[in-house]
């Protein structure tokens, strides 16, 4: 890479959950392993498959039954999210020994800017190989590393090249994109999914090079015809990525910024048919949302509620929001509003998934005085409950409704991100 250019890497852990499990279970080293949820609770999908399992045609996100049909000797392990988070943080610590500019992108992907590390650790390829060796030695996980002068190119270097070559390292040069990246189908580009691919094909854009070579003003004009008004920014973002432009820094504090909203959703263990059962789910979700708000020192004024029906062939459901008179992080306030929204918009069809979110967040130090005299007492009580839950777990204190058949609080307390701890 040229003198004075940034050197950015994207380190991706191969089949992360499955790799962690194989490291913990050496007896499965040469066997096909998948990490999958529990079919009895509608989470029976493959979350991660090791390379051996993938050689049988097993893919991530397919149903466990389909995976077992392809490979009857499949070793199926339940997810252990706490362990995966621990290993992910361990890998972050390893990366931070090379640079203080490390930005987690997901649980198994992290950006790092090693521009200032060359004097200590050598050229970019040497740094990448050293990182790979340390992570493999200390965690048992194999990593693939894309190298470029910015985050977008590093991501595409990893996804399109490092994941597919023998050494797992690839350097993508911006001055030679016409010989490499531009030759690839447009769906291989970062931030382009299946639906956008169809739109671009209708515009006559089939490769990343086609997109990059299209004059920006002409691309904006095409996007305007395809998507309508206010599509200029989207067109320019994709055009810049295709041409290798990305000025965004590698920021260690990405996830420390105040969120615009805080929400939770719940896939129900069975179809809920009555408002009584749904109220239990709404109360538990409201409690989780408010607990997270208080932990972040915020409160919100806009309550959003959504649901998804049980019939995928005939989709049903809604997503609506309502503004409260004053901002709050008190569970009962959010729950009452959520119930009003749900009863107003629910079509009485069976419900499979429910969501609650709180938006228009403000610091909880700045709140409007109300005529509700018990507000301070309610907040103090809920904060005391938060401290108990933080110390002993979310199941330490539960509402009586959570002990009914419709309650999921105890089951959820044993999971992280919807999966077993």
Are the C-beta atoms of residues 142 and 19 closer than 8 Å to each other? yes
| Annotated catalytic residue, options 21, 27, 83, 109 | 109
Q: Which two tokens stand for residue 363?
A: 């610091």
High-pLDDT (> 90) share of the chain, %: 68
Calculated CA dihedral for residues 250, 254, 256, 260, nearest 10 degrees: 160
Of the candidate CATH numbers 3.30.1490.100, 1.20.1740.10, 3.30.70.20, 3.30.70.100, the domain formed by 258-420 belongs to: 3.30.1490.100
- Using the structure block, give the residue that is written with the tokens 């005529």: 371
pLDDT of amino acid 71: 95
- Residue 346: phi and psi, rounded to 5, are -70, 135
Q: Which of 237, 147, 254, 249 is nearest to 192 (CA)?
A: 237
Name the CATH architecture for the domain at 181-242.
Answer: Orthogonal Bundle (1.10)
The rounded distance, in Å, linking the Cα atoms of 107 and 83 is 11
Which range (150-159, 160-169, 306-315) has the least confidence? Answer: 306-315
Instruction: Report the topology of domain 8-147.
Output: Alpha-Beta Plaits (3.30.70)
Mutual orientation of helices 216-227 and 232-242 as an angle, nearest 10°? 130
pTM of the model: 0.71
CB hemisphere CA count around 382 (13 angstroms): 22
| Of the candidate ranges 138-152, 311-325, 345-359, the one whose mean pLDDT is the lowest | 311-325
In 3D space, the residue among 412, 421, 413, 416 whose CA is nearest the CA of residue 41 turns out to be 412
To the query of whether residue 109 is one of the catalytic residues in this protein, the response is yes
* Mean pLDDT, the chain, whole residue set: 89
372 has a pLDDT exceeding 60: no
404 or 320, which is more confident? 320
pLDDT at 2: 57
In the chain, residues under CATH classification 1.10.150.20 are 181-242
CA distance 118 to 230: 43
Q: 414 falls in which pLDDT band (50, 70, 90)? A: low
pLDDT classification of 409: cutoffs 50, 70, 90: confident
Is 70 exceeded by the pLDDT of residue 1? no
- Where does CATH 3.30.70.270 sit in the chain? 8-147
Region label for 228, one of left (φ > 0), alpha (ψ between -120 and 50) or beta (otherwise) = left
Let me know: does 46 contact 59? Beta carbons within 8 Å: yes
Question: CATH 3.30.1490.100 in the chain, residues?
Answer: 258-420
Residue scoring higher pLDDT (374 or 146): 146
> Percent of the chain having pLDDT more than 70?
91
Partnered with residue 102 across adjacent β-strands are 112
pLDDT over threshold 70, residue 82? yes
Give the model's confidence band at 371: pLDDT under 50 very low, under 70 low, under 90 confident, else very high: very low
pLDDT band with cut points at 50, 70 and 90 for residue 70: very high
């Amino acid at each position: 890479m040229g003198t004075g250019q940034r050197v950015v890497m994207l380190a991706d852990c191969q089949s992360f959950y499955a790799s962690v499990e194989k490291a913990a279970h050496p007896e499965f080293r040469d066997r096909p392993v998948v990490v999958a949820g529990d079919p009895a609770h509608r989470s029976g999908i493959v979350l991660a498959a090791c390379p051996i399992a993938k050689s049988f045609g097993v893919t991530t996100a397919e149903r466990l039954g389909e995976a077992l049909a392809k490979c009857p000797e499949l070793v199926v392990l339940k997810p252990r999210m706490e362990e995966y988070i621990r290993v992910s943080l361990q890998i972050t610590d390893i990366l931070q020994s090379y640079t203080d500019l490390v930005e987690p992108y997901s649980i198994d992907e992290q950006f790092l800017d090693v521009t200032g590390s060359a004097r200590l650790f050598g050229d970019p390829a040497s740094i990448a190989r050293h990182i790979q060796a340390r992570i493999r030695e200390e965690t048992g996980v194999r990593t693939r590393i894309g190298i470029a002068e910015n985050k977008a190119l590093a991501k595409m270097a990893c996804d399109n090249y490092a994941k597919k070559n023998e050494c797992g390292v690839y350097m993508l040069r911006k001055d030679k994109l016409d010989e490499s990246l531009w030759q690839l189908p447009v769906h291989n580009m970062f931030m382009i999914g299946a639906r956008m691919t169809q739109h671009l094909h209708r515009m006559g854009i089939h490769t990343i090079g086609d997109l990059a070579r299209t004059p920006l003003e002409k691309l904006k004009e095409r996007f305007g015809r395809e998507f309508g008004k206010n599509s200029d920014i989207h067109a320019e973002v994709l055009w810049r990525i295709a041409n290798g432009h990305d000025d965004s820094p590698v920021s260690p504090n990405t996830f420390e910024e105040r969120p615009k909203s805080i929400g939770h959703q719940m896939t129900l263990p069975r179809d809920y048919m009555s408002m009584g059962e749904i109220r239990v789910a709404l109360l538990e979700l409201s409690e989780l949302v408010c607990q997270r708000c208080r932990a972040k020192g915020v409160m919100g004024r806009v309550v959003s509620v959504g649901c998804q029906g049980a019939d995928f062939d005939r989709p049903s459901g809604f997503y609506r929001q309502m503004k409260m008179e004053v901002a709050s992080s008190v569970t009962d306030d959010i729950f009452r509003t959520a119930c009003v929204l749900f009863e107003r918009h629910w079509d009485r069809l069976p419900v499979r998934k429910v969501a609650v979110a709180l938006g228009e967040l403000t610091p909880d130090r700045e709140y409007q005085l109300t005529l509700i005299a018990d507000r301070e007492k309610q907040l103090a009580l809920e904060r005391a409950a938060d401290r108990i839950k933080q110390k002993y777990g979310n199941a330490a204190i539960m509402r009586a409704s959570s002990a009914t058949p419709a309650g999921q609080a105890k089951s959820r307390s044993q999971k992280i991100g919807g999966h077993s701890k």
